[in-house]
């Protein structure tokens, strides 16, 4: 069963939220209000975070449906931007369909943050000559660069470099190891 990168990111966010929500220290406080700046539920049923009674916190009750959707989309985009390694099939520089949504999220981020720069490092597995693999790594990095530019990033934000087979992510001659070495890594600066 093949899952998209976006599905994996949503599942990861849900899992982290579930674990964080279920965790506790086991300590019990004698006075429940001592040291707390978080009110779990206010009187009208909405939740408020970081309210000490004198200042307003962030309340879910105050958010419109559009604001909730925008916040949810922003968190999904942040989760997608956590993926910075993109893998390629053997002897090709074609961007996989599952990588496109993640790259679009990166392009939007770069478009919104013009002072941010990214180095695109192209890599290849150990099959082929060193010269061929350097050229293949460059084609892969350039393909990602073109995709980011078409989707909103500025050419001035992007730098490409090819390492060919010189910096493998995984040592070995197995298909699994080689597939992890056919990649482009985004290094934000």
For the segment 74-131, what is each residue's pLDDT rounded down to a tens digit? 766 676 778 899 999 999 999 999 999 999 999 999 999 999 999 999 999 999 999 9
- pLDDT higher at 164 or 72: 164
Helix (H, G, I), strand (E, B) or coil at 106: helix
Bridge partners, 3 (sequence order): none
Task: Return the top range by mean pLDDT from 34-43, 48-57, 135-144.
Answer: 135-144
Residue 133 lies in a domain: yes
11 within domain boundaries? no
Across 29-47, average pLDDT:
46
Domain membership flag for residue 130: yes
CB 168 within 8 A of CB 181: yes
Q: What is the structure's pLDDT at 67?
A: 79
- Domain with residue 155: its CATH number is 3.30.1330.60
186: nearest Cα among 148, 150, 136, 130:
148
Query: What is the total count of domains within the chain?
Result: 1
Which has the higher per-residue pLDDT, 47 or 108? 108
pLDDT at position 36 is 45
- Which of the residue ranges 1-5, 47-51, 144-148, 156-160 would you say has the lowest mean pLDDT? 47-51
Mean pLDDT of 2-28: 57
- Residue 9 belongs to a domain: no
Strand 58-59 with 48-49, pairing: antiparallel
In a domain, 95, yes or no: yes
pLDDT for 184 equals 98
Instruction: Answer yes or no: is pLDDT of 168 > 80.
Output: yes
In a domain, 39, yes or no: no
Mean pLDDT across the chain: 80
Q: Cα–Cα distance between 18 and 35 in angstroms, integer?
A: 24
Residue 59 in any domain: the answer is no
Residues ≥6 apart with Cβ < 8 Å to 98: 2, 4, 5
Can you give the residue range of the structural domain that contains 173?
A: 85-188
Enter the tokens of residue 6.
């976006």
Residue 172 inside a domain? The answer is yes
């Amino acid at each position: 069963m093949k899952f998209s990168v976006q599905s994996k990111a949503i599942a990861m966010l849900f899992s982290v939220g579930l674990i964080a929500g279920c965790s506790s220290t086991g300590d019990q406080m004698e006075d429940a209000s001592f040291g707390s700046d978080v009110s779990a539920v206010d009187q009208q049923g909405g939740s408020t975070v970081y309210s000490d009674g004198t200042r307003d916190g962030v309340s879910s009750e105050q958010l419109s449906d559009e604001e909730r959707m925008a916040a949810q989309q922003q968190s999904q985009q942040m989760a997608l931007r956590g993926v910075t390694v993109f893998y390629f099939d053997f002897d090709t520089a074609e961007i996989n369909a599952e990588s496109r949504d993640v790259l679009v999220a990166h392009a939007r981020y770069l478009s919104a943050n013009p002072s941010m720069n990214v180095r695109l490092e192209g890599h290849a597995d150990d099959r082929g000559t060193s010269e061929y693999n350097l050229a293949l790594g460059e084609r892969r990095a350039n393909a990602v660069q073109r995709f980011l530019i078409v989707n909103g990033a500025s050419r001035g934000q992007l730098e490409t470099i090819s390492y060919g087979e010189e910096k493998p992510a995984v040592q070995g001659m197995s298909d699994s190891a080689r597939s992890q070495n056919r990649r482009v890594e985004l290094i934000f600066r």
